[in-house]
Amino acid sequence: GLIPHDALTLISGAPASYKTFITLEVALKVASGGKVFGEFRTAQCPVLIIDEENHPRVLQERAKIHG
pLDDT digits (tens, 9 = 90+) for 13-38: 998 899 888 999 999 999 999 999 99
Name the CA dihedral angle for 28, 32, 33, 35, rounded to a multiple of 10 degrees.
-40
6-40 burial string, b = 16+ CB within 10 Å, else e?
eeeeeeeeeeeeebbeebbbbbbbbeeeeebeeee
pLDDT at 54 over 80: yes
pLDDT of residue 67: 67
Average pLDDT (47-62) is 88
Looking at the predicted structure, is the pLDDT value of residue 11 above 90? Answer: no
